[in-house]
Amino acid sequence: MEFINFYLLPGIVLGSIYALGAIGVSLVFGILRFANFAHGELMLIGAYITYSLFQFTGLHPLAVLPLAMVLTSFIALGIDHTFYKPFRNSKTTIVIVASFGIALMARSAVQIIWGVDTFSYSSGRIEMPIVLFGGLRIFMKHVWIVSCSIGLMLCIHTILSYTRIGKAMRAMSDSAELARLTGIETEKVVRATWILGASLAAAAGVFLGLDSHLHSMMGFYMLLPMFAAAILGGIGQPYGAMVGGLVVGLAEELSSYPWLGDSPLLPPAYKAGVAFALMVLMLLWRPSGLFRGRVF
């Protein structure tokens, strides 16, 4: 039960958060053909907007999350229109460097508006776990995080598989030129991509805040695991990002389990190194990822 309570279940929760963020990374790469290093800051913005709405309304963070997802989507559309659209036909390296600059500006804006202090959605309340048979300890916040993550992933699957805009996104991901020739409004597809990616990023940021706390560097710390998950599953493949997120989250948590003796296999401080190691190994062994995504 110690293994399940303190390693397996937290790994599933963390993997669900990584998966939501990695889906957005994969969608942007698949449609716009560049790695958006400002994606972590969209998570940061969504989490802090939710915190402000939570303080203003007194409602649960999950209750105000849909409004925060809408507001984060508007911010993402504004960033795309102001900074990314002028570079749409430029070299990929130029857009990547621009995304680094946007990440710095967005993080600084959050620090100016909300400060650099650490915040929490729980407001000092201590949540006690539900103890089930055999000593299984489950926190309700973990149930909500995993359940909402699964629901959002199913929504993404439905949109990509059964809606007109989802089919247009898949067509543009295969070939933007052919999609344009067949009459698909590519700018409309780009806007839909940013809306979906920003919405999922906001949800991931809120779930991370519910699981731990909010701080202005949380988006930066999430960037490497999200890209590791996206590359592991196959960059540009949303379904691969879901699997990759779960694998990276479980690998990080299980790496600190005392598999050999009484000491942790890896100290908890090295969890981020596990994500980096997985990303490097995947790039060396199978650059296209588990679901055969695009190669850099």
pLDDT along the chain (296 residues), means of 10: 90 96 92 92 97 94 97 97 91 91 96 94 79 86 95 94 92 86 91 96 96 93 93 86 93 90 84 87 84 64
Is 262 part of any domain? no
Range of the domain at 201: 2-219
Contact 271, 49 (CB under 8 A): no
Displacement of CA 291 from its chain's centroid (Å): 18
**Given the structure tokens 């780009």, which residue do they identify?**
190
Residue 38 structure tokens: 């400002």
Predicted pLDDT at 193: 95
Is 191 part of any domain? yes
pTM equals: 0.94
Predicted pLDDT at 295: 55
CA distance 100 to 109: 14
Contact 160, 238 (CB under 8 A): yes
The sign of the dihedral angle between the CA atoms of 100, 24, 218, 5 is negative
End-to-end, the C-alpha distance of the chain in Å comes to: 42
How many domains does the structure of the chain reveal? 1
CA distance 19 to 228: 10
Identity of the residue numbered 59: L
Is 235 part of any domain? no
Is 41 part of any domain? yes
Is 271 part of any domain? no
Displacement of CA 274 from its chain's centroid (Å): 17
Is 150 part of any domain? yes
